[in-house]
Amino acid sequence: MTLSEAQKKFLRGMGHRLKPIITIGGAGLSESVVREFDSSIAHHELIKVRVRVGDRNTRDAIISKLCDDNAAELVARVGNVALIYRKNEDAPKIPLPIA
């Protein structure tokens, strides 16, 4: 699913009140972090992830891998915090505006 700019804007507005619920540290993207991410995004649909690893390129690579491996969409990234969305097909919680 590719989000339109209007949908990303809507999700960014919702994301302002969220706090990061997953932190990826120096150990990088471990199997337990991936399981926790999958569980959290399935429940919430929209989450913030804090990535405290290396430089910008390393952070971007980790965020991209996390999104690609879990069929999620990067909505926004500010510094070391990424706002990520994945629609829950069984029970959608966030009604997105029409693209």
Closest listed residue to residue 29, CA positions, set 67, 62, 52, 74:
62
pTM over 0.85: yes
Q: What's the CA gap between 18 and 90, in Å, rounded?
A: 23
Q: What's the CA gap between 52 and 7, in Å, rounded?
A: 27
Express each pLDDT in 13-72 by its tens digit.
Answer: 999 999 999 999 988 899 999 999 999 999 999 999 999 998 899 999 999 999 999 999
pLDDT score of 1 more than 70: no
Closest listed residue to residue 52, CA positions, set 82, 73, 18:
82
